[in-house]
Amino acid sequence: MQEPPAPVDISVLTIVRNREPHLHQLIEGLTRSRLQPDELIVVDMSDCPVKPPLAPFPIAVHRLEGTGLPLAKARNLAAKHAAQDNLVFLDVDCIPMTDCLTRLVQELGCHNGLLCADIRYLGPDDARGEWTEADLLARGRPHSARLFPATGVREEPNPGLFWSLAFAIRRSSFAALGGFDEAFEGYGAEDTDFGFRARDARLPLLFVGGAIACHQHHDSHEPPVQHLKDIVQNATLFHRRWNRWPMEGWLSAFQSMGLIEWTPQQVRLVRMPDSEEIAATKVA
């Protein structure tokens, strides 16, 4: 059966804080894309304003001043400024491969849901300069807990596996959900909450085969102790709303480090990590 024509009117949305080189590689990926976006909306939270390179599509940069990493607020601001009917959210770390946009918007024309791209994780020295798609695909590692089909879509029954790194949604559906809940301040659980609300709205979570984006390496911590306060606050809000805990792996690790007290009923911040603990959790 012949595939329906891909829908038009695509806004790609990204948010950035102090990762301008990653933004440049995301734009390079979009420039090489078989299907060009109508626009790229950038919400910039960086200490110094970013300067994106020229591209064959319009780029609009909107500043979000402040400290921290208000992910829900930043993504909602990007959607507010988007002009098109089909929204593709790409974290600034992601480089879309040639067919990523094509596959996402083709399936978005057939399915009203949350459509996640297949993320491949790159190493520290990958995509730091010139790159070829074949090289990135050879080096990228898939996520072990998220299984993508080679082609077509697979419906994922667990809304906790919604992936805000790279996903597509119809503008009308995003508006009906009310966007990301800005009660989740800073980092953590805002995307899981979004996935659960989509489930309750009967929007299926779909993993799209062939929609590949490569995730650029960056400094990180495991567990993310630099976001400890946000995670404790947001986990508490999520538990109050859904009667279950998000980010259980991180909470368990924080408890083992003596940073929190965590019971089936509540989580309490005990202390902040010291400099040695922060250094020990850094991922090379």
The confidence score (pLDDT) of residue 92 equals: 97
Tell me: pLDDT of 151 over 60: yes
Report residue 60: phi and psi, to 5°. Answer: -115, 125
Coil/strand/helix, residue 106: helix
Question: How far is it, in rounded angstroms, from Cα 194 to Cα 204?
Answer: 12
Percent over 90 (pLDDT), the chain: 88
Give the pLDDT mean for 138-150. Answer: 92
At residue 4 the predicted structure's pLDDT band, cuts being 50, 70 and 90, is: very low
- Whole-angstrom distance between the N-terminal and C-terminal Cα of the chain? 47
d(CA 207, CA 214): 15
- The 10s digit of each residue's pLDDT in 94-117 is 999 999 999 999 999 999 999 999
For residue 101, what pLDDT is reported? Answer: 97
For 258, the token pair is: 């003596």
Q: Average per-residue pLDDT in the chain?
A: 94
**Sign of the dihedral through C-alpha 250, 256, 258, 260:** positive
Instruction: Specify the amino acid at residue 108.
Output: L
Indicate if the pLDDT at residue 215 is higher than 70: yes
d(CA 9, CA 2): 22
- The tokens describing 128, both together, are 């730091």
Q: Is the pLDDT of residue 7 over 70?
A: no
Q: List, for residues 28-64, the tens digit of each pLDDT value.
A: 999 999 999 999 999 999 999 999 999 999 999 999 9
Q: Whose structure tokens read 């996520």?
A: 143
Could you tell me if 42 and 20 are in contact, meaning their C-beta atoms sit under 8 angstroms apart?
no
Whether the predicted model's global pTM rises above the 0.75 cut: yes
Instruction: Judge contact between 13 and 89, C-beta under 8 A.
Output: yes
Q: What distance lies between CA 178 and its chain's CA centroid?
A: 18
- pLDDT at position 6 is 44
159 phi-psi bin (left φ>0, alpha ψ -120 to 50, beta other): alpha
Q: What is the pLDDT of residues 219-259, one digit of tens each?
A: 788 999 999 999 999 999 999 999 999 999 999 999 999 99
Query: Which pLDDT band, with edges at 50, 70 and 90, does 217 fall under?
Result: confident
Number of C-beta neighbours around residue 102 at 10 A: 17
Tokens 């650029």 found at: 216
Classified as helix, coil or strand, 170 is: strand
Q: How far apart are CA 21 and CA 53, in angstroms?
A: 10
Main-chain phi, psi angles of 28, to 5 degrees: -60, -40
In terms of Cα–Cα distance, which of 19, 32, 80, 7 is closest to 212?
32
CA distance 76 to 154: 27
pLDDT surpassing 50 at residue 266: yes
Comparing C-alpha atoms, which of 89, 101, 118, 121 is closest to residue 215? 121
The pair of structure tokens assigned to 110 is: 């057939």
Structure tokens given for 178 = 């009310």
- 218/187: higher pLDDT: 187
Q: Annotate 180-217 with three-state secondary structure.
A: CCCCCCCCCCHHHHHHHHHHHCCCCEEEEEEEEEEECC
pLDDT of residue 219: 79
The tokens 């734009």 sit on which residue? 27
